[in-house]
Amino acid sequence: MSKIVESMYSIRMLDDLARKDTAIHKIHPAAKLLTTIAYLITVVSFGRYEISGLLPFVLYPMVIILLAELPAAQIFKRLLIIEPLIIGIGILNPLFDPRGWISFASIMIKSGLTVTACLILVSTTGLDKIAQALRTLRVPGVFVLQLILTFRYISLLTEELARMLRAYVMRAPLRKGVRLKDCGSFVGQLLLRTSDRAQRVYDSMKLRGFDGEYHSNGESRIAWRDVLFLISWSLFFIIARIHDIPAFLGLLLERVIG
Amino acid sequence: MSGQRIIEVSNLHFTYPDGHEAVKGISFTIYQGESVGIVGANGSGKSTLLSLITGVIFPDKGEVKVGDVAVTKKTLATVRQKLGMVFQDSDDQLFMTTVYDDVAFGPRNYKLDENEVKARVEEALDMVGIPHLIDRAPYKLSGGEKRAAAIASVLSMKPDVLIMDEPTSGLDPKSRRRFINVLKGFSHTKIITSHDLDMVMETCNRVIILKEGKAAADGTTLEILTNGELLDDCGLEVPLSMQKCPVCGTCKQGL
């Protein structure tokens, strides 16, 4: 029960963070989205045994978290949630591949970096504005709408689930969870209740002139600052991809000491 | 009745897919500036009637006209711009991340420019007395504040008619009083469905009683809500403010 309520708050936390007003939050959503995409592509493009080259990419999330005043602990907590999944994917590598531990580490680092980048994007931009950015980039409205409504449906689902669980627990105080026997009708009820509720929300949208196109916060213009943000980070990603910066720094240090 | 005809409902029939006949031949006309309370027991057809007026569902027989326009699939966009519907559960109506975005949702859908949208949002929030909540997240508001935000979200569309489904349900006494005062300040034509007959008494000048999908009575508020026999027959009772004092057994002065 409390876990459900907790996850409800954690979804809303991303929305709350997105409403902050830092230099990073002010950057145009499209610039942030493109920068994130560039980041994801370069990180993923590293070979399975290249680890040292990935290290400079820690800089991007670190800088953004600091500048956007995001609670680093909360972001990393969310990152940990998906780690078991990643471990599941990579754990067999050391068994079949003599250099498996390296490729396993590379998977862990890559997933950590990419998921953090996405969490940062959502918590500095907000899903509404990401949707707006996607529309600016000419992504078809239907897909964008799906994304937005799915995101909204999650909170609706958790709210309804929390309500039903409360009613259940109050009448079954000795049980820890929902009995397997009751699960079928429980899940069925949840589906019916949330779809009813979603229908009402949709009605209220239609009654206010909703025609399938999602208009959020007006159309803000892209400024030089936004272009600079995109170009400078992209340049950094490209340089870090082509040159092995940690190896170069190591070499430099060796010479200085030598 | 003077004034321009705003809503005309004629011989409306509606049956749900499961065979439940919810509305059986309701007819009435609402004129500009009227405040009409639609009351009736649970399951008497109030919510179905509101859905039919707003074009969420369409009648099997009969017609709804808003102004001179019949409510059909083709005219929905025009019709809905004139109708502002406040839902019973404010959570159904508030789904954006800030109060501002929620109130701006309607105007933005009608493609107004962002300055006009901003002006309308501020005006609507002023009208319901919550300008300070403009940047708050709707789910963090109290019940009364949510109701006010939901009303603002339709006021921003500058509707001709305000339609409210159970607007005082779930409000604490102070919030309810505040809401009634706000409502009295509006010059809009209003349609209010409610079980809160005291609120209807204060805010409406005309009352329509529904009973089993039909209009059982239609008249001035005072005439209808003082008719104990009629109300009892329709599963209602005389408003508390009209009942005798439980201590001294007399009626309130001035009523």
Report the 3 state secondary structure along A193-253: HHHHHHHHHHHHHHHCCCCCCCCCCCCCCCCHHHHHHHHHHHHHHHHHHHCCHHHHHHHHH
Amino acid B86: pLDDT:
92
**pLDDT value at position B152?**
92
What residues in A contact B87, CB-CB < 8 Å?
Answer: 200, 203-204
Average pLDDT over residues B199-214: 93
Of residues A244 and B166, more confidently modeled: B166
Indicate whether B17 pLDDT > 60. yes
A15 interfaces chain B, CB cutoff of 8 Å: yes
pLDDT at B175 over 60: yes
- Give the closest residue to A115 by CA, choosing from A77, A141, A71, A172: A77
Token pair, residue A59, equals 């800089």
For residue B2, pLDDT over 70 is answered with no
Is residue B174 included in any domain, yes or no? Answer: yes
- CA gap B8, B175 in Å, rounded: 33
Q: Which two structure tokens, joined as six digits, stand for A255?
A: 């010479």
B119 at A interface, C-beta within 8 A: no
Residue window 78-97, chain B: list those with CB within 8 Å of chain A: 80-81, 83, 85, 87, 89, 91-93, 95-97
To the nearest whole Å, the CA of A75 is away from the closest chain B CA by 20
Do residues B82 and B67 make contact, with C-beta atoms less than 8 angstroms apart?
yes
8-state DSSP, B252: P
Chain segment A119-178, per-residue pLDDT in tens: 999 999 888 888 888 888 888 888 888 888 888 788 788 888 888 888 887 777 777 777
> Is A19's CB within 8 Å of B109's CB?
no
Q: Is A19 on the interface with B (CB under 8 A)?
A: yes
Q: How confident is the model at residue B253 (pLDDT cuts 50, 70, 90)?
A: low
Q: Does A195 touch chain B (CB under 8 A)?
A: no
CB atoms within 10 A of CB A153: 15
Residue A12 to residue B139, Cβ atoms within 8 A:
yes
Q: Is-contact B38 B27, C-beta < 8 A?
A: no
Mean pLDDT of A174-191: 82
Residue B65 has pLDDT above 90, yes or no: yes
Of A19, A200, A211, the CB nearest to B109: A211
Task: Tell me whether A193 touches chain B (CB under 8 Å).
Answer: no
User: What is the mean pLDDT of the segment spanning A30-57?
Assistant: 89
The SS3 of residue B177 is helix
Residue B79 with chain A: CB contacts under 8 Å = none
Q: Are B46 and B210 in contact (CB under 8 A)?
A: yes
Query: Are A209 and B110 inside 8 Å of each other by CB?
Result: yes
Going A176 to A180 to A185 to A191, the CA torsion angle's sign is: positive
Is B78 inside a domain boundary?
yes
Q: What is the mean pLDDT of chain A?
A: 84
Q: Which helix (H) or strand (E) holds B200?
A: helix B197-203
CA distance B161 to B155: 10
Looking at the domain assignment, is residue B102 inside a domain? Answer: no
B153 within a domain of the structure (yes/no): no
Domain spans of chain A?
1-139, 140-215
Average pLDDT in the A189-207 region? 88
Nearest 5°: phi and psi at B61?
-145, 150
SS3 letters across B134-153: CCCCHHHCCHHHHHHHHHHH
Report which DSSP code applies to B236: -
Q: What is the mean pLDDT of residues A80-96?
A: 83
Enumerate residues 9 to 28 of chain B having a beta carbon within 8 A of any beta carbon in chain A. Answer: none
Q: What is the pLDDT of residue A247?
A: 78
**Residue A15 pLDDT grade (very low, low, confident, very high; cuts 50, 70, 90):** confident
Closest CA to B124 of B141, B144, B101: B101
Q: A19 vs B97: CB contact, 8 Å cut-off?
A: yes
The pLDDT confidence band at residue A218, using thresholds 50, 70 and 90, is low
Is B157 within 8 Å of A201 when comparing Cβ atoms? no
Domain total in chain B: 1
- The enclosing H or E element of B164 equals strand B161-165
Residue-averaged pLDDT of chain B:
89
CA distance A171 to B191: 40
> What mean pLDDT do residues B28-44 have?
93
**How high is the pLDDT of residue B66?**
93
In the numeric block, which tokens belong to residue A126? Answer: 């907000």
Q: Report the C-alpha gap between B181 and B185 in whole angstroms.
A: 6
Q: What is the pLDDT of residue A126?
A: 85
CB spacing of A19 vs B106 below 8 angstroms: no
B220 touches chain A (CB under 8 A): no
Q: Where do we find the tokens 């109506």?
A: B93
User: What is the enclosing helix (H) or strand (E) of B119?
Assistant: helix B114-127
Order of strands, edge to edge, in the sheet holding B35-40? B83-86, B161-165, B189-193, B35-40, B206-211, B214-220
Q: Is B198 on the interface with A (CB under 8 A)?
A: no
Q: CA nearest B86 in A: which residue?
A: A204
Determine the pLDDT at residue B182.
87
**Dist CA B213 CA B236 (whole Å):** 15
Question: Would you call B109 and A208 a contact, using CB atoms and an 8 Å cutoff?
Answer: yes
Q: Is residue B51 part of a domain?
A: yes
Probe site for chain A from B92, B146, B162 (most A CB atoms < 10 A): B92
Cα B40 from Cα B210, distance rounded (Å): 5
pLDDT of the residue at A229: 92
Q: What's the domain range around B10?
A: 5-88+161-242
Residue A254 pLDDT exceeds 70 = yes
pLDDT band at A94 (very low <50, low <70, confident <90, very high): confident
- pLDDT at A38 exceeding the cut of 90: yes
Around Cβ A47, how many Cβ atoms within 10 Å? 9
- Residue-level pLDDT at A257: 80
More reliable by pLDDT, A183 or A258? A183
Which chain A residue has its CA at the smallest distance from B111's CA?
A215
Q: Is residue B155 part of a domain?
A: no
Is position B64 within any domain?
yes
* pLDDT score at A186: 86
Amino acid present at B132: H
- Distance between CA atoms of B183 and B36, rounded to whole angstroms? 13
A208: closest chain B residue by CA: B106
- Give the Å distances, CA to CA, from B138 to A8, A152, B23, B36: 14, 13, 34, 29
Task: Indicate which CATH number applies to the domain containing B181.
Answer: 3.40.50.300
Location of structure tokens 């230099």: A23
d(Cα A183, Cα A169) in Å, to the nearest integer?
13
Any domain includes B171: yes
**Given CB atoms, is B153 within the 8 Å cutoff of chain A?**
yes
The pLDDT tens digits of the residues spanning B66-124 come to 988 999 989 988 888 899 999 988 888 888 878 998 999 999 888 888 899 999 999 99
Contact A241, A50 (CB under 8 A): no
Task: Summarize the confidence of residues B3-17 as an average pLDDT.
Answer: 92
Cα–Cα distances in angstroms (integers) from residue A186 to residues A182, A191, A195, A199, in the given order: 6, 9, 14, 20
Overall average pLDDT of the B127-149 stretch: 89
Question: Given this model, what pLDDT does residue B119 score?
Answer: 94
